[in-house]
Amino acid sequence: MRTHVDETLLLASNPKFELGNHSWSHPDLPGLSEEIISKEIVKTQDLLYKLTGRQSKLFRLPAGLYDDLTLSVIAWQGLYTIQ
């Protein structure tokens, strides 16, 4: 979104298209602290809202990797984990 603002806005304008959160820097989330995982999610959510006025409800795991803490933090942030 940060480097493709026009494309983000075009996709967001399509009511049949849903933008999701994939973390800010795409780290492997298992083993990271709750604080770092939350920052990855919130930074992306904030930019999405700043650009489109909407928040995502979906989160796709970078590399598909997760542990119990990762799933808990994603849920606590109000997102559904998809893969």
pLDDT at 24: 97
How sure is the predictor about 81, in pLDDT bands with cuts at 50, 70 and 90? Answer: very high
Buried b / exposed e along 6-36 (16+ C-beta atoms within 10 A): eebeeebeeeeeebebbbbeeeebeebeeee
Ranges of each domain in the chain: 5-82
- pLDDT tens figures, 61-70: 999 999 999 9
CATH topology of domain 5-82: TIM Barrel (3.20.20)
pLDDT digits (tens, 9 = 90+) for 1-17: 999 999 999 999 999 99
Rounded to an integer, what distance in angstroms lies between the CA atom of residue 23 and that of residue 74?
A: 10
| Cα dihedral 58, 51, 6, 16 in deg (nearest 10) | 40
